[in-house]
Amino acid sequence: MAIILAINAGSSSVKASVYETSIPSSPPNQLAEASISGLTAPPATFTLRAGSTNTGKQEIRDVDSQASAFEYILNHLQACETLPQISDKHDIRYVCHRVVHGGDYPDAHIIDDNTFHHLQDLTELAPLHNASALAIVKTCTKLLPNAKNIAYFDTSFHASMPDAAKTYSIDPRVAKENKLRKYGFHGISYSFITRSVAHFLGKDIDATNIIALHLGSGASACAVKGGKSVDNSMGLTPLSGLPGATRSGNVDPSLIFHFTHDAGKPAPGSTRKMHISQAEDILNTKSGWKALTGTTNFGHISSSSDPQCKLAFDIFTDRVVGYIGSYYVKLGGEVDALVFAGGIGEKADLFRSRVLEKCRSLGFELDEQRNHEAVTKTVQDIGSPGARHRTLVCQTDEQ
C-alpha cells in the first residue's frame, strides 16, 4: 500500500488530503483531510478530520505563510491517533500538488529542478496560486525527502483546445517567444466533472459532450467534446472570461488605459503613472462583485434588494448565459448535459433558475422542486424529465 498526500495551496489557505492506495489496481481511499484558512486575515483557523477525529475550527497562532501552514498540517496528521498510516513522515510516498499554471505541460509532471524553475518562470501569470504551491514544494523537499513530488496542473485538461480557440490575434512571433496564448484553468475540476458526469450518464468518457460551469469566487465555463476540452472562458491568466468575487472578467483591453485619476481622457500622459502591476491588481483584486457591491458574498448578493447587488447578479447571469450559448453552438447542439459546479453552481438555486430561464430555447429546463433540494450526491439531476437536454449539479473535487 502507498500513502499519497494531495495538497491544494491557495492565496490564503492550504488544504491537504491523505489517501491510501494499492497501485495501480484500485482507486485511492481517502483517510483524512486537513486545512488551514485565513492566512491573510489572522487569526488563521485549522480543521482536521480523520476517522472519528474531527477538530472543528480551531484558531491558531504563529502560522502566517503557506510553508508554515503545510508544516503545521503535516505535524498534526502525523500526531493524529486515528491516522496510524502516517505516524512516520517517511510513510508518505507521493505528494501531489495542485499547480494552477503549468504552461505547455500537457500532463502531470514529476517535479525536479528543471520543472521547479520552469514553474517559477510562470508565477507572474498566476501569482496568487503558483507562488503558494511552489513554496510548499520547497518545504516538502526539506521535510519529506523520500517522497516523490508530482505537479497536477489546472491548465493540462485544456491542452486539447484547438489552435483556433487558444490563439490570440497578435504578432505570432511575439506570441511564440512569450508563450502568449489561451491556456484555460479549473482543469482539475473539469476533469473530475467530466468523469463523474460520464459515469452518471452511463457513457464512455470519450463519448461525453457537456457544457460545464465552475462557478465560485473564481468562475469559468468549459466546452467538453468527446471527453476533452475544446474551449474554456479563462485565457492566458485566470483573469479572462467570467467576472468573479474580485476579478473583472472580460473587459475592453483599452479600459485599463483610462483607469486613472484622469479617467476618460485618453491623452498620452493620462496613464503615465499606471504600472502594469497596478493594472493587474485593479483587475484581479479590486473589481468583480466586490467593486460593484462592496461584498464578495454571492449569497448576500443573490438575496439583496440593493440595486447594485441586483446589477451584479444580472451581470453574472448575462455572462454565464453568453458562454452557454456560445459553447452550445461549438458543440453543434450535441450536448449531453449542462453542468453546474463550484460553490455558487452547487448552492445558488435562484441563480441556476435565472440562468435556465434564459436557456429554455436551447432545450434546457429545470424541475423547480429538484432545483431547490440540497445537493447530496456527487452528480444530481435538477432538470425537467421532458427536457431535450439534461441539467445537472456536480459536487466537484480539485484535490
Which residues are known to be catalytic? 154
Q: What are the grid coordinates assigned to 48, written together?
A: 482536521
d(CA 136, CA 343): 25
Contact criterion met (CB below 8 Å) for 389 and 211: no
Beta bridge pairs of residue 92:
3
Q: Could you give the angle at which helices 113-121 and 127-143 cross, rounded to 10 degrees?
A: 160
Strand order in the sheet with 210-215: 228-232, 219-225, 210-215, 337-341, 390-394, 379-381
Contact criterion met (CB below 8 Å) for 162 and 351: no
**Residue 288 Rama label (left phi>0; alpha psi -120 to 50; beta):** left
Contact criterion met (CB below 8 Å) for 312 and 262: no
Residue among 178, 179, 185, 180 at smallest CA distance from 159: 185
For residue 282, CA distances in Å to 200, 253, 255, 259 come to 41, 13, 11, 9
Contact criterion met (CB below 8 Å) for 217 and 245: yes
CB 332: neighbour CB atoms within 10 A? 9
DSSP class per residue in 265-329: ---GGGGTT--HHHHHHHHHHS-HHHHHHS---HHHHHH---HHHHHHHHHHHHHHHHHHHHHHH
Contact criterion met (CB below 8 Å) for 359 and 326: no
Q: Classify residue 111 by its DSSP letter.
A: -
On the CB side of 214, CA atoms within 13 Å amount to 26
d(CA 31, CA 17): 8
Q: Classify residue 371 by its DSSP letter.
A: H
